Amino acid sequence: MLQKGEKAPDFTLQSTPEKRVTLADLRGKNVILAFYPADWSPVCSDQMSLYNEMLKYFERYNAVLLGISVDGAWCHQAFAKARQLHFDLLADFEPKGAVSRLYGVYEEGVSQRALFVIDAEGIIQWSYLSPVGQNPGADGILNALEKLK
């Protein structure tokens, strides 16, 4: 898993069947990458719903949140609509897990539950690997963003 001080690998992934997101396009903003195993799972649903509630706090730190799993763009679109999520969920679908592998968080066909806070210059300032069945919450993210102020 990539660690603090390493350059965040660039990527482009689909967020919907019509929209793609490129990490490099977000330079100048802090970026939170929330890798998670699967749409619709109970822990992932709780985690993404919590982050949706935290968006206004993340924005105070000039931060953009991106969720990433190996589910496809259509699945993400349905999940985001059902959960009323207001941030991009990115499909690390084809080739399966390519971005998760770049960040060192791909295992047994899914993204592990991992968090990265990347600064405005594209350097990882914090990373955390959570047990798969545990919601890591938002405290670590907020602490890392606070240190970037």
Can you tell me the distance from the alpha carbon of 80 to that of 134, in angstroms, rounded to the nearest whole number?
Answer: 20
Note whether 51 and 65 are within 8 A (CB).
yes
CA distance 109 to 52: 26
Task: Exactly one of 2, 21, 34, 44 is catalytic; name it.
Answer: 44
- 100's CB contacts (< 8 A; 6+ apart) are 35, 68, 70, 92, 106, 110, 111, 112
Our answer to whether residue 44 is catalytic in this structure is yes
Catalytic residues: 44
